[in-house]
């Protein structure tokens, strides 16, 4: 590793902290939505929107843009927060999350917000959508890359594995998928609900190149994405190990926070903790 300058790493870590604060504020304002998963994916969304993706917030339909498909659409508050910070729409718009006729619905809707590639909600659909886009890009000789973010819980859906076979059969080396391996789902730990391990061996058996990475180490995650670009004969799966509720100690790994927002008093406490964390990031890089 080491191809990202330390100043850039600091910048990305600070931005991820700001994104966590924004999503806590938007969820509290909404009074509904998912908290644990979005907090756990803030570092990865920061890496994508502020370092990895070829994209232009001022021209969201740029033909040569990389495509980012969010399969587990319920974590979209973190995507919205990252997009707002990247300049796709004003930060103030985050207060409209889940409100009637808002562009920021509880699951992303392409007709409401053209800068998201797909409307998502039913788990297990994203990988098939991403594989279709990747195959179309190859047929049209387009050079953009396709990224698909997935939950670990949706690996329990059968159509995920149909899509995995399709992507490998078509040698979609322009497709990189990322599993948010946070080990929780709405009614418990994944290994208690429906054991998934070994995910690495499963995807390798489906002829994918597999990389495991710390989803909170931005440099390590970016390095995994760069490695994927060097794989020419198959798609790549990055298993990103994340902590649900990351940044808020009292809710980390607590699956009961999968699908509920913080109350106002809780939000004040969470935001204070995140601001302290921001100060620690600042001092750590001095």
Domain with residue 10: its CATH number is 3.40.50.970
What's CA 38's distance to the chain center, in Å?
A: 8
Contact of 15 with 46, CB cutoff 8 Å? yes
81 within a domain of the structure (yes/no): yes
Q: What is the dihedral of CA 241, 6, 57, 99, to 10 degrees?
A: 50
For position 1, what pLDDT does the model report?
40
- For 277, the domain range is 6-284
Average pLDDT per 10 consecutive residues for the chain, totaling 286 residues: 76 96 95 93 98 96 96 93 96 94 88 88 90 98 97 92 98 97 83 88 98 96 96 97 94 89 94 90 75
108 within a domain of the structure (yes/no): yes
For position 286, what pLDDT does the model report?
64
59 within a domain of the structure (yes/no): yes
For position 165, what pLDDT does the model report?
98
> How many structural domains is the chain composed of?
1
163 within a domain of the structure (yes/no): yes
Is pTM beyond 0.85? Reply is yes
Q: What is the dihedral of CA 32, 37, 39, 42, to 10 degrees?
A: -120
Helix/strand/coil (H/E/C) assignment for every residue in 176-217: EEEEEECCEECCEEHHHHCCCCCHHHHHHHCCCEEEEEECCC
d(Cα 38, Cα 93) in Å, to the nearest integer? 18
48 within a domain of the structure (yes/no): yes
Contact of 80 with 92, CB cutoff 8 Å? no
> 45-48, long-range: CB within 8 Å, 24+ apart, which pairs?
45/16, 45/19, 45/78, 45/79, 45/81, 45/82, 46/12, 46/15, 46/16, 46/19, 46/82, 46/218, 47/12, 47/218, 47/221, 47/222, 47/225, 48/82, 48/147
For position 284, what pLDDT does the model report?
79
d(Cα 193, Cα 201) in Å, to the nearest integer? 20
For position 273, what pLDDT does the model report?
93
For position 111, what pLDDT does the model report?
85
What's CA 79's distance to the chain center, in Å?
A: 7
1 within a domain of the structure (yes/no): no
């Amino acid at each position: 590793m080491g191809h990202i300058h330390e100043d850039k790493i600091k910048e990305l870590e600070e931005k991820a902290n700001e994104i966590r604060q924004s999503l806590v504020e938007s969820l509290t304002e909404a009074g509904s939505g998912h908290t644990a998963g979005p907090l756990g994916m803030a570092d990865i969304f920061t890496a994508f929107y502020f370092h990895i993706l070829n994209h232009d917030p001022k021209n969201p339909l740029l033909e040569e843009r990389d495509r980012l498909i969010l399969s587990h659409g319920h974590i979209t508050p973190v995507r919205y927060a990252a997009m707002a910070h990247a300049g796709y729409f004003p930060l103030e718009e985050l207060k409209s999350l889940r409100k009637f006729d808002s562009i920021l619905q509880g699951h992303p809707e392409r007709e409401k917000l053209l800068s998201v590639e797909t409307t998502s909600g039913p788990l297990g659909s994203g990988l098939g959508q991403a594989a279709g886009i990747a195959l179309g890009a190859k047929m049209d000789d387009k050079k953009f890359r396709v990224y698909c973010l997935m939950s670990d819980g949706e690996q329990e859906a059968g159509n995920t594995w149909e899509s995995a076979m399709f992507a490998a059969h078509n040698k979609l080396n322009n497709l990189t998928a990322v599993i948010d391996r946070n080990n929780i789902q709405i009614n418990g730990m994944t290994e208690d609900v429906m054991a998934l391990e070994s995910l690495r061996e499963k995807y390798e058996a489906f002829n994918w190149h597999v990389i495991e990475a710390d989803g909170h180490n931005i440099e390590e995650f970016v390095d995994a994405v760069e490695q994927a670009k060097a794989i020419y004969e198959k798609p790549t799966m990055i298993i990103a190990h994340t902590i649900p509720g990351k940044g808020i100690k009292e809710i980390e790994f607590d699956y009961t926070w999968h699908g509920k927002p913080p109350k106002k008093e809780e939000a004040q406490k969470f935001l204070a903790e995140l601001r302290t964390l921001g100060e620690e990031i600042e001092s750590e890089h001095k």
